[in-house]
């Protein structure tokens, strides 16, 4: 699986203030989410989130996005998760590249996640509304989100099919 995130920070008039584009890392907890879905267990990817950590993006043991002070930057103010609306998810089969591409998008409104954002991820939120599991994660150059900015997140995840030529 391969995923890519594009973030766009917009001001009140809709102008783009900042943009980031990064490749993701699937977490160990993310592989467990997919494996459990084979057995009809667990919960699907339901939210996007942001955080403050700048831990190495390839540390697959990370299980949650952080919302803690980093240096002189305080924790984020407001909600750090936003639901993925089913209508914002699309699927496309590419028979030449032999993958199915899933595109998801969501927006954190002005009052959410105010502060310095350094990471983002896709989240599986359990039906209890409390237990969150991290599917994937990216880190990027910090973005300072004010309470008059919206942050849109656009994910693309490609699921390959055919002979993947790896051994067990």
Mean pLDDT over 100-127 rounds to 96
Mean pLDDT over 42-46 rounds to 91
Q: Identify the residue with better confidence: 2 or 105.
A: 105
| 165 lies in some domain | no
In 37-131, beta strands by DSSP E: 47-51, 81-83, 90-94, 99-108, 115-125
Task: Kindly report, residue by residue over 77-95, the tens digit of the pLDDT.
Answer: 999 999 999 999 999 999 9
Q: So what's the pLDDT on residue 2?
A: 79
CB 50, CB 80: distance < 8 Å = yes
Whether pLDDT at 166 is above 80: no
| 168 lies in some domain | no
113: containing domain? 2-160
For the entire predicted model, the pTM comes to 0.92
| 97 lies in some domain | yes
| 94 lies in some domain | yes
Domain tally, the chain: 1
Q: So what's the pLDDT on residue 168?
A: 56
The angle formed by the CA atoms of residues 116, 117 and 120, to the nearest 5 degrees, is 170
| 146 lies in some domain | yes
Q: How far is CA 26 from CA 29, 53, 139, in A?
A: 8, 16, 12
| 141 lies in some domain | yes
| 167 lies in some domain | no
CB 146, CB 140: distance < 8 Å = no
């Amino acid at each position: 699986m391969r995923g890519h995130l594009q973030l766009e920070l917009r001001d009140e008039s809709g102008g783009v203030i900042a943009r980031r584009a990064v490749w993701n890392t699937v977490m160990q907890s993310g592989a467990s989410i997919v494996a459990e879905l084979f057995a009809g267990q667990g919960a699907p990817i339901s939210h996007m989130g942001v955080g403050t950590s700048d831990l190495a993006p390839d540390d697959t043991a990370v299980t949650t996005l952080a919302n803690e002070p980093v240096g002189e930057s305080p924790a984020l103010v407001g909600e750090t998760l936003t639901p993925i609306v089913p209508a914002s998810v699309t699927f496309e089969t590419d028979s030449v590249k032999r993958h199915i591409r899933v595109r998801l998008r969501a927006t954190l409104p002005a009052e959410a996640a105010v502060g310095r954002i350094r990471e983002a991820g896709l989240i599986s939120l359990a039906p209890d509304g409390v237990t969150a599991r991290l599917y994937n994660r990216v880190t990027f150059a910090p973005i300072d989100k004010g309470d008059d900015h919206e942050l849109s997140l656009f994910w693309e995840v490609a699921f390959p099919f055919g002979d993947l030529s790896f051994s067990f």
